[in-house]
Amino acid sequence: MKTCIPKYIKEKQQGGLLKKIKQSSALLTSCSLCPRQCNKDRTRKEKGYCSTGKKAVVASFSAHFGKEPQLVGDKGSGTIFFSHCNLKCIFCQNYDISVAGRGRKVDDGNLASIMLDLQKTGCHNINLVTPTHVVPQILKALDIAIDYGLNIPLVYNCSGYESIDTLDILKNIIDIYMPDFKFWEPELSQRYCHARDYPKIAKKAIKKMYDQVGDLKVDKAGIACSGLIVRHLVMPGNLDGTHHILKFLKEKISPHTHVNLMSQYHPMGDADKIKELSNPLTHKEFRKALHLAKKFNLKIIR
């Protein structure tokens, strides 16, 4: 018997999903889905800062067995990797997808079918990776998929560079938010992803996400039903930024925040153009990051 009833089912039943589809689709005509506010008409032939036009582009989809055990369980997280990105970090570990744009265009029906196929294989959730720039397309696909029986939680797996207006549209749609909190310093955000406002935006966005879903909740099997998980990729030479981010999560979000400290940084993309990014993270640096997390007594996912 299911113990997790996704929010989006009730939202559709009450007519809210259709309203959200209209709201988000309207944002595409002069695109303001994300903080870039590029104002491109993506309903025609223009592409936004994200390099995406009218249709979503999917790089891959599969049952994923890694990272957060609360999402993966024994049958995997139903991960859909969307191509392109609104942030485009210079060192992205998925550079071929986020910047180079490897993938294929899908229409709403295709995307709905992908969701249903992942559920059919037994996945515990639908994990939307880099979804920010394709929110309207996701909502349209969701509307179709619900009619064919989709009933597992939605995970919004994003960079943290989110528009509050778009997050308001996603209220009562997303069950589990999983944002990154990448950088604390505006200067680094500017150098690494040409977004000086990233820290300010991420703080507001993560607070909004928490207000919508609260702390992480799991069912009797330990599988996530709803709530917030924050990812932080520990960067070489920047433990001070890690300290400030963990302190913010503890004091401004929740002392019960689940945090995944990630150690897999290594130079990718154009990272070799920046001296401090040209070497991988050391074991010593990561151990210090773990020590900081324990100091703040946050719930660390390993």
pLDDT in tens, 121-165: 999 999 999 999 999 999 999 999 999 999 999 999 999 999 999
Residue 1 confidence (pLDDT): 38
Residue 236 confidence (pLDDT): 92
Residue 134 confidence (pLDDT): 98
Residue 101 confidence (pLDDT): 85
Say which CATH topology domain 7-300 has: TIM Barrel (3.20.20)
Strands (E), the chain: 56-64, 77-82, 104-106, 126-129, 154-158, 176-179, 217-218, 224-233, 258-262, 299-300
Segments of the chain with pLDDT less than 70:
1-3
CA distance 96 to 101: 6
Residue 2 confidence (pLDDT): 53
What does pTM read for this prediction? 0.96
Domain boundaries, the chain: 7-300
Instruction: Count the neighbouring beta carbons within 10 Å of the beta carbon of residue 168.
Output: 12
